[in-house]
Amino acid sequence: MTSDPDLRERLRVAASRLAVGDPPIDHVLRRARRRRFRAVGTAVTTLLVGGLLAWAVLALLPIHRPTQPAPATRPHILAAVAVGHSPAQLAVGSGFAWVSTFTREAGPLLLQVDPRTDRVVARIQVGPKGAGFGDVAAGLGAVWVSTGSTVHRIDPRSHQVVARFHMPSPSTLAVGFGSLWVGDFNGDAVVRVDPESNRPVARIHIEASPVTLVPASGALWVLDSKGSVEKVDPDTSRVVAVFAGHLILMFTEGTSYDLAARDGAVWIAYSQARLASPLLVRIDSITGAVTKVTDLLREAASAIAAAVGPDGVWATTGRLVTVTAKAIHRYPEGVVRIDPTTGRIVQRIAVHDPTDLAVGEGSLWALSSPRRGVLYRIGPIDTRGP
């Protein structure tokens, strides 16, 4: 053992720097495991918190899923509105459906039907007691009604008659091309009326008495009392063509007819007691050629009135029974939808004794007989076309 005091001092200092009482190795490993577990727990907690935050953000964001087109709904009766026992004419426009009716107590009445509630919201007295209805039309911010020798202009909001003008024999009415068109039945003419002044601005002579007026496909179409269709140019207020001359026999017993037009075609629904079958005739609006004649008896229908909508041609039908070698078929009265290309009936809707049709305000409207006095709203009308 050395006695060098310097050496002893250096050993003492070195010994004092050595760690004394270090823990055993198993204690060191347990501390390492605890540190590892704490690190893993912190990571798991971080992941959970991050996942919850991500879920919350996604929940607040709109989810864009590929939308599938809704299945097409076939037109059907949406509502039936009672309109009294003597409905006469039907028109749709200015946001409402309009039905002219007559009672002995009140005389001529005009009913306003709201398509949003399917209720009669107003009853408007038009003309004196005993005056008969001629026709009704709606458009240009007004409702137009002819009674006797007078045409009345009615404000659809105030329900007041705001103007009147007289004509010898106003019959059928139509609104189109910025004007009111009035058929002068005894004068063999159509009168054009300016809605700003409520005065006639043109008188158009035609071959016979005007029976039905339809503005469509760039022209005013006139079915006259000789069974011809006359085309009036609204720019010049002149007859520019006469189509299907004397095609149908008018004003004979058991005769019913109507005119409709759309998309380059004019349609005549015609039924006559002497005919073996009622007909639906299609006329090209440019050439005037008859392009299709649909035998409605073969299609088990009998036309009384017609209307054209974006999804086809609609016609009224009476009760019909057909007998074949195999069976007896009974078809209820109502309205039918006809494919304008094939002329075949693609749908039937049962309606009791329909007498008039109109398309407008997103629906097909069918007016029933004087005995029932019901206005049916049918929809939806497919705006995409057939």
- List the chain domain ranges: 76-379
Domain 76-379 has CATH 2.130.10.10: yes
Judge contact between 114 and 69, C-beta under 8 A: no
Residue range 20-38: mean pLDDT, rounded: 45
Task: With a cut of 90, say whether residue 163 has pLDDT above it.
Answer: yes
Q: What percent of the chain has pLDDT over 90?
A: 40
Q: What pLDDT does residue 275 have? A: 61
- pLDDT at position 51: 54
Confidence (pLDDT) at 5:
60
> Cβ contacts of residue 112 below 8 Å, gap of 6+?
96, 97, 98, 120, 121, 122, 123, 124, 156, 159
What pLDDT score was predicted for residue 74? Answer: 87
- Tokens (6 digits) for 124: 């408007």
User: Contact, 111 vs 101, CB < 8 A?
Assistant: yes
Contact 232, 219 (CB under 8 A): yes
- pLDDT tens-digit series, residues 48-81: 445 555 554 444 544 444 444 444 578 999 999 9
Which CB contacts under 8 angstroms, 24+ apart, belong to 330-335?
331/300, 331/301, 335/364, 335/366, 335/378
Q: Among all chains, which residue has been given the structure tokens 């039918």?
A: 336
Check residue 66 and give its pLDDT: 46
Q: What is the pLDDT of residue 318?
A: 65
Of 22-31, 112-121, 207-216, the least confident: 22-31
Please, which pLDDT band fits residue 158 given cuts at 50, 70 and 90?
very high
pTM (2 d.p.):
0.75
Judged on CB neighbours under 10 Å (0-12, 13-18, 19+), 313 is buried
> Measuring CA to CA, how many Å separate 123 from each of 49, 81, 113, 156?
68, 14, 9, 11
**Residue 294 binned pLDDT confidence (cut-offs 50, 70, 90):** confident
Say if residue 193's pLDDT is above 90: yes
Q: Would you say the C-alpha torsion 156, 161, 163, 165 has a positive or negative sign?
A: positive
Looking at every residue in the chain, the average pLDDT score rounds to 78
In whole angstroms, what is the distance from residue 229 CA to residue 252 CA? 18
* Cβ neighbours, 10 Å, residue 78: 15
> What is the model's pLDDT at position 7?
53
